[in-house]
Amino acid sequence: MSHPASAPVPFPPFIAKPGDFNRGLVVICDHASFAIPPELKGLGLSAADQKRHIAWDIGAAEVAMILAARFRLPAVFGGVSRLVIDCNRDPADKASIPAKVDGTPIPGNANLKLWDRAERMSRWFQPYHNAVEEMMTAALASRKDPVLLSVHSMTPQLDGQSRPWPIALSSHEDRRLTTPMLAALQKRTQEPIGDNQPYALDPAEDYSVPQHAMRRAVRHLQVEFRQDLIAETPGAMQWAKVFGDALAEVLEL
């Protein structure tokens, strides 16, 4: 009788941090991890490529954790690399499991069958979003108007264009928090703060905030921190404090 030796080892699709729902704020970090489950064999990438910005949002998880700890907030962190499956893209979008990112081919994502994509969705995408949904349900049960904070990071330049913003806010039509946060942040730094630069919050592209906050008309913030400033702990602490101080002012935390 054969042993199921080839069965995939379970790999955590998310990490949830407990917190006080009465604070009225919950945190998500879609691209927190560069981890690639062993059975995917590094997606055919070098060890260096597996840790580049193409694989995760460098520094974002640390900033999100610092903010969650400071304000005692519940938080959910994505457990696998965005190259396994991007938790901030609709699985129907081809960019959900990209074959090439920023000029780098991803061999393990080439020529995937429909069932390969479906397996990645069921093992890593859906459990993460189920955890976020559970957190949002608990938040709504505690406070009638909770806030969802989505933490990302961006490269200091892309396609030859430099990004001068240490912090950038992405919004769509609902600017209830974006506008006051921009003002609160600008009081705390001489550096420019991005307002839908370099990215706007696009319901046709982004998935997490539209799915968990916008469809409920819940207030939300989507923030990008510049990766070169938060890649090391001192920088992550510095910019998390700037953002956290502004957040405390706007939300009266």
Tokens (6 digits) for 67: 């903010």
Q: Grade residue 8 by pLDDT with cuts at 50, 70 and 90.
A: low
pLDDT at 167 over 60: yes
Which of residues 161 and 180 earns the better pLDDT score? Answer: 180
What Cα–Cα distance (Å) separates residue 146 from each residue in 100, 130, 250?
Answer: 37, 18, 14
Percent of the chain exceeding pLDDT 90 equals 91
- N-term to C-term CA, the chain: 60
DSSP 45-79: --HHHHTSTTTS-TTHHHHHHHHHHHHT--EEEE-
- The reported pLDDT for the residue numbered 2 is 37
Looking at residue 215, its pLDDT comes to 96
pLDDT at 9 over 80: no
Query: pLDDT tens digits for 92-120?
Result: 998 999 999 988 999 999 999 999 999 99
Check residue 153 and give its pLDDT: 98
CA angle, corner 237, sides to 234 and 239, nearest 5?
Answer: 110
**Residue 6, pLDDT above cutoff 90:** no
- Is 204's pLDDT higher than 80? yes
**Cα 32–253–193 angle (5° rounding)?**
60
Bridge partners of residue 157, in order along the sequence:
162
Q: What's the pLDDT tens digit per position in 224-239? A: 999 999 999 999 999 9
pLDDT-derived band of residue 86, with 50, 70 and 90 as boundaries? very high
- Considering the four listed CATH numbers 3.10.20.740, 3.30.420.40, 3.40.50.720, 3.40.630.40, the one that applies to the domain covering 14-251 is 3.40.630.40
